[in-house]
Amino acid sequence: MNKAMEKVAYRPVGLLLGMAAGALAGVIFRQAWKMAAGDDDAPSPVDEDRGWAEVLAAAALQGAIFSVVRAAVDRGGAIGVRRLTGRWPG
């Protein structure tokens, strides 16, 4: 199979892994925010009762968690594909 076909074949797997990573990152973020801020709900950027520092801290934490989870899930998916097919995807 050529590289272009491999990329097309891996695309549905990557989409499913991306959705799973987003859901997992959301769960982890909510728990981390509860522990860090002692608040059940993270601030929304348009919540006028929350200050800049709190909104930006929440966004930074959420972005970091999402990036790490996404990288871990993508890497795990690639390793899984290599184990199944003998070739690294992409």
Give the span between the Cα atoms of 40 and 16, in whole angstroms: 28
Provide the whole-model pTM: 0.83
Domain boundary assignment for the chain: 3-85
| Chain segment 16-70, per-residue pLDDT in tens | 999 999 999 999 999 999 999 998 899 999 999 999 999 999 999 999 999 999 9
- Nearest Cα to 76, choosing from 30, 27, 31, 20? 20
Which contiguous run of DSSP H or E holds residue 10?
helix 3-37
pLDDT of residue 11: 83
